[in-house]
Amino acid sequence: MPQPIARVIALSEKQRQLLEQIIRAHTNPYRLVQRAQLILDAASSMKNTEISLSLRLTRNRVRLWRNRFLDAVTSLNQAESEGIDDEALCRKIILVLTDEQRRGNPGKFSLEEIVQIVALACELPATSELPVTHWTPTELARIAVKRGILTEISPRSVGRFLKSSDVKSTSKSLLAKRKSEKPRNI
């Protein structure tokens, strides 16, 4: 059975230079560099199987990126013929070689709810008539539900919000520290 023939990629000299520049840059993400190399290999008449072996990718992945770049070649050539500068053309190439946004579950908590939880953590526990001096994630979750901020939330989620919120309104820790089982060696 004959193998399907991959579509040929014809790069302009400027596009080739920019792809090589992407590969040489030490700060670019590995996947971007790998995809730029894939396009250069495809433009040099390498087959998908050869590219997949050299870059350690599946043939399907090579085919996907080859086709995705080919779909964008017309727009890249048009931008180049209109006199777009190298930096803008490089951004367009990087955009073509970047993953598309993937679907996922929407966030469970709104930004407003998160802000209200952080604001609650900034209050003293005594204002909620608690006999403690520091908040624990469990107490914050319980009081947030009691006040009607949300219908339910786990202590772990509260802890994540406070850990990532970078709260600077108080010099003291907002949460009670857990005592370690083993003494630390200093």
Domain membership of residue 138 (yes or no) is yes
Assigned domain for 103 exists: no
User: Are 30 and 72 part of one and the same domain?
Assistant: yes
pLDDT score recorded for residue 104 = 78
In the prediction, which pLDDT does 175 show?
A: 54
The answer to whether residues 92 and 121 belong to one domain is no
Residue 175 lies in a domain: no
Distance CA 9, CA 43 (A): 5
Asked if residue 43 belongs to a domain, the reply is: yes
Q: How many domains does the chain have?
A: 2
Contact 124, 46 (CB under 8 A): no
> Within this chain, do residues 23 and 91 fall inside the same structural domain, yes or no?
yes
| Residue at 176 is within a domain | no
Strand partners, 172: none
Residue 182's pLDDT is 58
pLDDT at 152: 93
- Are 88 and 59 in the same domain? yes
Question: Do 89 and 143 belong to one domain?
Answer: no
Q: Indicate whether 63 belongs to any domain.
A: yes
The pLDDT score that the predictor gives to residue 169 is: 46
* Distance, CA of 177 to CA of 173 (rounded, Å): 8
Per the CB < 8 A criterion, the answer to whether 82 and 118 are in contact is no
- 77 lies in a domain? yes
Of 48, 63, 96, the residue that ends a domain is 96
Same domain, yes or no: 41 and 82:
yes
Residue 48: which domain range? 13-96
pTM: 0.57
Is residue 173 domain-resident?
no
Q: Kindly give the parts of the chain with pLDDT less than 70.
A: 1-3, 164-186
| One domain for residues 133 and 73 | no
